[in-house]
Amino acid sequence: MAKIPIYQQPVSTIYQSLRTDAQGLSATTAQERLAQNGKNALNQQKTTSLLQKFIAQFKDFMIIVLLVAALIAGLTGEVVDAVIILIVVVLNAIFGVFQEAKAEEAINALKEMSAPNATVRRGNVVTTVKSDELVVGDIVLLEAGDIIPADLRLVAVGSLKVEESALTGESVPVEKRDGVLTGDDLPIGDRANMAFMNSNVTYGRATGVVIATGMQTEVGRIAGMIEAADETTTPLQANLTQLGKSLTILILVIAAIVFAMGMWRQAETLIDMLLTAISLAVAAIPEGLPAIVTITLALGTQRMAKRHAIVRKLPAVETLGSTDIIASDKTGTLTQNKMTVEKVYQDLKLVDAHSLDFERDNLLAQTMILSNDTKITAEGLAGDPTETALVQYQMDRNYPVDQVLTDRPRVAEIPFDSERKLMSTIHPLADNQFLIAVKGAPDELLKRITQIAKNGQVTTLTAADRETILTTNHEMATQALRVLAFAYRIVDAIPNDMTSANVENDLVFAGMVGMIDPERPEVEQAVADAKSAGIRPLMITGDHRDTAAAIATRLGIIEEGETAAVITGAELDEMDDATFAKKVKDYAVYARVAPEHKVRIVNAWQKHGKVVAMTGDGVNDAPALKAADIGIGMGITGTEVSKGASDMVLADDNFSTIVVAVEEGRKVFANIQKAIQYLLSANLGEVLTLFMMTMLGWQILAPVHILWINLVTDTLPAIALGVEPMERNIMKQPPRGRKSNFFSGGVLGGILYQGLLEGAITLFVYWMAITYPVHAAANLAHADALTMAFATLGLIQLFHAFNSKSIHGSIFTVGLFRNKFFNWAIVIAFALLAMTILIPGLNGMFHVAHLDLFQWAIVLGASFMMIVIVEIVKFFQRRVVK
Active-site residue set: 329
Phi then psi dihedrals of residue 834, to 5 deg? -70, -35
Q: List Cα–Cα distances, 767 to 770, 773, 867, in angstroms.
A: 5, 10, 21
In whole angstroms, give the CA distance from residue 209 to residue 10: 12
Yes or no: say if 792 and 761 are a contact pair by the CB < 8 Å rule.
yes
Yes or no: say if 89 and 290 are a contact pair by the CB < 8 Å rule.
yes
Instruction: Measure the N-to-C terminal CA separation of the chain; round to a whole number of Å.
Output: 67
In whole angstroms, give the CA distance from residue 79 to residue 82: 5
Residue 222, CB half-sphere, CA atoms under 13 Å: how many? 31
DSSP string for 583-645: HGGG-SEEES--HHHHHHHHHHHHHTT--EEEEE-SGGGHHHHHHSSEEEEESSSS-HHHHHT
In whole angstroms, give the CA distance from residue 761 to residue 737: 37
- Dihedral angle of Cα 661, 662, 668, 672, to the nearest 10 degrees: 150
Closest alpha carbon to 254 in 596, 844, 695: 695
Yes or no: say if 485 and 422 are a contact pair by the CB < 8 Å rule.
no
Long-range contacts of 64-68 (CB under 8 A, 24+ apart): 64/244, 65/244, 65/247, 65/248, 65/285, 66/285, 66/287, 66/290
Yes or no: say if 814 and 676 are a contact pair by the CB < 8 Å rule.
no
| Number of neighbours of residue 315 by Cβ within 10 angstroms | 24
Yes or no: say if 153 and 560 are a contact pair by the CB < 8 Å rule.
no
Closest alpha carbon to 308 in 648, 666, 665, 646: 648
Q: List Cα–Cα distances, 741 to 80, 677, 737, 745, in angstroms.
A: 33, 12, 9, 9
In whole angstroms, give the CA distance from residue 341 to residue 290: 54
Give the pairing of strands 139-143 and 117-122: antiparallel
